[in-house]
Amino acid sequence: MNRAFFIIGIVFSVIFMFITSYYADEVQSARWDAWDYSYSNYSYDSYDSYSYPTYSSYSYDYSDGLTTEAGLCSLFFFLCFIAIDILGIMKVKTKTMKVLGIIGLSISGIFLLVNFLVIFDQGAVSFDEVAPAWILYCLIMLAFTIVGLVQSVRFYKRQSSSSNDTPVSATTAPSATTIDPLDDLLDD
């Protein structure tokens, strides 16, 4: 079951990357359109003076609404990644997964706080300003969910193989097995 969550996390990180790119482009275009419209309202008269437009002649800046919309979409993805990290810590009992889960929760918490700033105070931070950090977050979560999927598969293979083993009696000699030292370093 947990493997499905990691696969969903991989798909979500790719989707989130494209959504972030789309909204960053839309917000930047809206900001430039508003600036271009207000700049084109300046006129030059014959007495070498500029006439400035009144406040009501400025176009509406759609970037604030798009920033809020992008922040709400980001909120969904951040909460999904937080849930995936929590489930990874609870279900996959390896040291690697616990470390990655704690790092993932910490990073997600920081980005979630910044996302609330983006949602509630559009004048302070616009979405096109935080989009590069969001794309970096997507790449980090993509790497963490891939490693989580690999760890989950290894954990469940070990768990199922240990439950299928028959107990060794005192009269049988243990068989020679090969031990991979990297398995202990990566999984424990």
Q: What pLDDT is stored for residue 152 in this prediction? A: 87
Percent of the chain exceeding pLDDT 90 equals 39
The CA-CA-CA angle for residues 151, 19, 143, to 5°, reads 20
**Angstrom distance (rounded) from CA 185 to CA 188:** 6
Question: pLDDT band at 51, cuts 50/70/90?
Answer: low
Q: What is the pTM of this model?
A: 0.71
- Cβ neighbourhood burial of 123 (10 Å; 0-12, 13-18, 19+): exposed
Backbone angles phi and psi of 44, in degrees to 5: -115, 125
**Average of per-residue pLDDT across 103-110:** 95
Which of 38-52, 71-85, 125-139, 143-157 is least confident? 38-52
Q: What pLDDT is stored for residue 66 in this prediction? A: 86
CA-to-CA separations, 120 to 37, 71, 184, in angstroms, rounded: 26, 9, 46
**Angstrom distance (rounded) from CA 32 to CA 20:** 18
Query: CB atoms < 10 A from the CB of 108, how many?
Result: 25
**Average of per-residue pLDDT across 11-30:** 92
Question: Does 47 score more than 90 pLDDT?
Answer: no
Q: Which residues contact 186 (CB under 8 A, 6 or more apart)?
A: 96
Question: pLDDT band at 55, cuts 50/70/90?
Answer: very low
**Average of per-residue pLDDT across 10-31:** 92
Q: Quote the mean pLDDT of the chain.
A: 79
User: Please, what is the end-to-end C-alpha distance for the chain in angstroms?
Assistant: 21
CB 144 within 8 A of CB 136: no
Strongest mean pLDDT among 122-126, 144-148, 168-172: 144-148
The model's pLDDT over 164-188, given as tens digits with 9 standing for 90+, comes to 655 555 455 555 555 554 554 455 4
